[in-house]
Amino acid sequence: DQQVKQNSPSLSVQEGRISILNCDYTNSMFDYFLWYKKYPAEGPTFLISISSIKDKNEDGRFTVFLNKSAKHLSLHIVPSQPGDSAVYFCVADTGNQFYFGTGTSLTVIP
């Protein structure tokens, strides 16, 4: 049962434009979320997180939005750069376990 879903397996964006990666979850008890970036044959690296007490968290070019009522979060990357091309995972952290989304492969076209 996939409790964290990323319905877009891939996304292509022109360099300089905004990339929006979406994530939906089913468990209303999830209260902390993280986004990870993963290059092929490497471990995921942390990007940004958000607690359910917030609806937005910003760090440089990365902003995560959380809509608790819709059980939806999104990661915005602006401006997108070719080096951002990777697979992005949305993760829910319950404190005991991490639930990974299925991932979205982002390609930023120069």
Within 10 angstroms of residue 104's Cβ, the number of other Cβ atoms is 22
β-bridge partners, 51: 32
Count of alpha carbons within 13 Å of 12, Cβ hemisphere only? 2
Chosen residue from 25, 30, 88, 89 binding other proteins by CB under 8 A: 89
Residue choice 20, 44, 64, 86 for contact with other proteins (CB under 8 A)? 44
73 makes contact with other proteins (CB under 8 A): no
Among 46, 54, 56, 58, binds other proteins (CB under 8 A): 46
Q: Please state, as a whole number, how many other Cβ atoms lie within 10 Å of the Cβ of residue 9.
A: 10
Sites of contact with other proteins (CB under 8 A):
32, 34, 36, 41-46, 49, 51, 89, 93, 95-98, 100-103
